[in-house]
Amino acid sequence: MPAHQMVAPPALDRKPFDDEIDVYGLTHTGKVRPDNQDHFLICALRKQMVIHQTSLPGTDRLMAGPERLAFLAMVADGVGGGARGEEASRIALEAVTQYVSGTMRSYYAAGSADDVEFYEALQEGALQCHEELKRRGDEDPEYQGMATTLTLYLGVWPRAYLLQVGDSRCYIYRNGELTQITRDQTMAQELIDLGVLTRADAAATRFARTLSSSLGGRQTDPVVTRFDMNWGTVVLLCSDGLTAHVSDDRIRERLRLMTSAKQVCEDLLREALEDGGSDNITIIVGRALPRES
């Protein structure tokens, strides 16, 4: 074979193994707020096999490594002040995780999982959480006004489903390009869409931090989108504590130079803090990298 001739690596048409997923998340109170109302979650949803009785020896090997059905990552940014915001974001993550986990297993057991079912399941999970937060606020005056954003990534390789309520964002970085997948559900974005304000002008108004949709708030509008995943594509979820201080250009540059999910999360957090850290900051970064043979 001539020296200049290179053999292309084999195409990877399988889903990543667990040790091929580089993912990391962190949250920080910031430099101004007295408490942290953000929460995040990263988890794998798996098939479960429970052995009730058997004569077989060494059943541990039968139960090792249950198949991963999906990968789940979420960021929630509570609003409402004090304990109300923290409680709202915590309840949202717990409730939606339980709902999505049960739904995933049911669909796979029935062999009927498809786009329509995932879209409807994610929206229904968000709406149930919304009603639960409103109910708690109605029953306990101390928690009236509790609400939260929710941005949820559900990876069912090679498809990815994204649920968003509020202004916590999802970006993907692919082939050197950074794309914001979510649309901010804020009054500022509504005015930008109507042509009333430019993006530059809107950023300086109070409308930039005023949600037009949230879980538990006056109005909720869960939006579900789908995109395809492939090896090396980077997914970033974050609360607005990051994007208030770190521009898309800086995020793109950090992701271009990343050596690991942990390293880039810590670098982005440091930039947000150095620029003022005016809000709670939560970041999740993940990608699939093939093992070196």
The three-class DSSP label of residue 217 is coil
pLDDT in tens, 162-192: 999 999 999 999 999 999 999 999 998 888 8
| pLDDT at residue number 113 | 63
The secondary structure of the chain in percent helix, strand, coil, rounded to multiples of 5, reads 35, 25, 40
Burial class (CB in 10 A: 0-12, 13-18, 19+), 285: buried
Summarised one tens digit per residue, pLDDT across range 125-143 is 999 999 999 999 889 888 8
What token pair was written down for 256? 């271009």
Q: How would you class 211 by CB atoms within 10 Å of its CB: exposed for 0-12, middle for 13-18, buried for 19 or more?
A: buried
Closest CA to 33 of 282, 281, 290, 288: 281
Please give the pLDDT value at position 221: 96
* Residue written as token pair 């789908």: 226
Work out the pLDDT band at 6, boundaries 50, 70, 90: very low
| Model confidence at 291: pLDDT above 70 | yes
DSSP state of 47: -
**Residue 37 confidence class, pLDDT cut points 50, 70, 90:** very high
On whether the CB atoms of residues 73 and 25 are closer than 8 A, the answer is: yes
Closest CA to 21 of 292, 287, 260: 287
Structure confidence at residue 54 (pLDDT) = 56
Task: Give the Cα separation of 82 and 123 in Å (integer).
Answer: 28
CB-based burial label for 105 (10 Å; 0-12, 13-18, 19+): middle
Average pLDDT, the chain: 87
Name the residue with higher pLDDT: 13 or 91: 91
pLDDT digits (tens, 9 = 90+) for 59-114: 555 544 567 888 999 999 998 766 689 999 999 999 999 898 888 777 766 666 67
Question: Which residues does 241 contact at the CB level (< 8 Å), separation at least 6?
Answer: 28, 30, 38, 77, 272, 277, 278, 279, 280, 281, 282
Radius of gyration of the chain (CA): 21
- Kindly indicate the confidence band of residue 264, based on its pLDDT and cuts at 50, 70 and 90: very high
CATH topology of domain 23-45+67-182+215-288: Phosphatase 2c; domain 1 (3.60.40)
Percent over 70 (pLDDT), the chain: 86
pLDDT tens track for 19-32: 999 999 999 999 99
Q: What is the mean pLDDT of residues 137-160?
A: 91
Q: What is the pTM of this model?
A: 0.89
Q: In the block, which residue shows the tokens 């708690």?
A: 136
Select the more confidently predicted residue: 119 or 66: 119
Strands 169-174 and 177-180: antiparallel
- What pLDDT is attached to residue 145? 85
Q: How far is the C-alpha of 255 from the C-alpha of 88, rounded, in Å? A: 31
